[in-house]
Amino acid sequence: MAEKTKKNPQTICVIGLGYIGLPTALLLSRDYDVFGFDINPVIVEKINKKVIPFDEPEMEELLNSSDIQASTHPQHSDIFLICVPTPFDKEIKMADLTFVIKALEAIVPILKEGNLVIIESTITPGTCEKIAVPIIEKSGFKIGTDIYLVHCPERAIPGRTIHEMVNNDRIIGGINKESAKLAEQVYRSFVKGRLFLTTIRTAEFVKLMENTYRDVNIALANEFAILSEEMGINVWEAIRMANKHPRVNILSPGPGVGGHCIAVDPWFLTESSVNATLITTAREINDNMPSYVFSRVKRIIVKESLKKPTITIFGVAYKGDIGDVRETPALKFIRLCERENWEIKIFDPHVTIFPYPLLDLNRATEGSDCIVILTDHSYFKNIDPAILLMRHKNIFDTRNIIEKNLWQKAGFNVTIIGSGDE
């Protein structure tokens, strides 16, 4: 570790330099000497060469002005901050805590009395007490008196990560009050939002509640869209009207829920309980949306008698104006189209890496029979439909982002999910 030169004399080792760990490490490095540890040598090399491994507003400037050092090994420090991913085991619908466990095991040999260990990774309630404490105590130190332990779940939305890390309120759950108080000082160095201290198990639960709340509400919007189609009602107009009520705020329907959090975290609550029926149902509704979209597109294909159709997908990112494709609902939609032997062409102005070829706008639309909008990228709002050389002019919009009249004037048969006009 470099000689201590910062406002705060303590050193911090951030474990996991991904979407959360790296920006957090960079923010902390303004006041602390920060050391980054990641098992991926490519990420480590990039950081040490001042190359951002993924794009986020303000990240490049922060990295350039930071003196953070990264390595594939952990370093003796006063504070350890664990930001590794918690993948989801799809087969058994359970959190896979392997990375969190490995991160804890990696620091056990280098722990010193007085160290603070903070886990930011999303975990199932009880993980800190049942899994983290026994691992840490293998060091011979006692939790709560020799080593302090905290869970402080991350709360930053991709696309606004730095802004939210600085401005959002945070929940700090301590194994005891002393632990929470120590972590409070660390977060105070860069968080302008309020810091709320609670128990470690409550903090674990709160994180899952937040993402589950959003998932359930998106499922409700999706179910409203499906019902409105059955009833010949425009769901978008209906939601606008319902949201005029002072205590109603219905979210937007779409092609399903993606991202590494909302599409995953609710399952962490259902894994050990048979009583999470609403949460399970919401997950199933959202997971079924790509199939529902597929059935709607199929209806267009059949109605138009299109043989061997070519489908153009606008947007494979899991949400608008970002290039992140983790858990994207687009993948399931593509697989369903493939099973029908439809030709698929993809255009996404933000995504650079995807398991299927990405084309430019012209090549993706030339000779196509139907455009399907899966992501609400602002770019799609400004496309001039008159210049597209389609074989058949159909468009299905799952995000309600195009200007219907404009596309109709250009000769397109326009269908918007939940618009109830069929």
Residue 173: closest CA among 108, 232, 126? 126
Q: From the candidates 83, 152, 207, 337, which is the catalytic residue?
A: 207
Place of tokens 């489908």: 311
In angstroms, give the least distance from the CB of 218 to ligand SAJ.
5
Active site residue 370: no
State which residue, 53 or 159, has the beta carbon closest to ligand SAJ: 159
Rounded CA-CA distance 217/263 in Å is 13
Active site residue 261: yes
Name the helix (H) or strand (E) containing 118.
Answer: strand 116-119
Note the residues at the interface with ligand SAJ (CB under 6 A). Answer: 154-158, 210-211, 214, 218, 251-252, 254, 257-259, 261-262, 318-319
In angstroms, give the least distance from the CB of 411 to ligand SAJ.
29
In angstroms, give the least distance from the CB of 59 to ligand SAJ.
16
State which residue, 143 or 172, has the beta carbon closest to ligand SAJ: 172
State which residue, 76 or 214, has the beta carbon closest to ligand SAJ: 214
Crossing angle of the two packed helices 235-242 and 200-231, in degrees rounded to 10: 130
In angstroms, give the least distance from the CB of 211 to ligand SAJ.
5
In angstroms, give the least distance from the CB of 258 to ligand SAJ.
4
State which residue, 147 or 417, has the beta carbon closest to ligand SAJ: 417
Residue 274 DSSP label: S
State which residue, 332 or 393, has the beta carbon closest to ligand SAJ: 332
Q: From the candidates 261, 345, 370, 393, which is the catalytic residue?
A: 261
Rounded CA-CA distance 269/23 in Å is 27
Rounded CA-CA distance 70/36 in Å is 4
Q: Which residues make Cβ contacts (< 8 Å) with residue 373, sequence separation at least 6?
A: 314, 315, 380, 395, 396, 397, 398, 399, 401, 402
Spacing of C-alpha 375 from chain mean position: 14
Q: Which residues make Cβ contacts (< 8 Å) with residue 228, sequence separation at least 6?
A: 234, 235, 238, 418, 420
User: Would you please indicate which residues are annotated as catalytic (active-site) residues?
Assistant: 207, 261
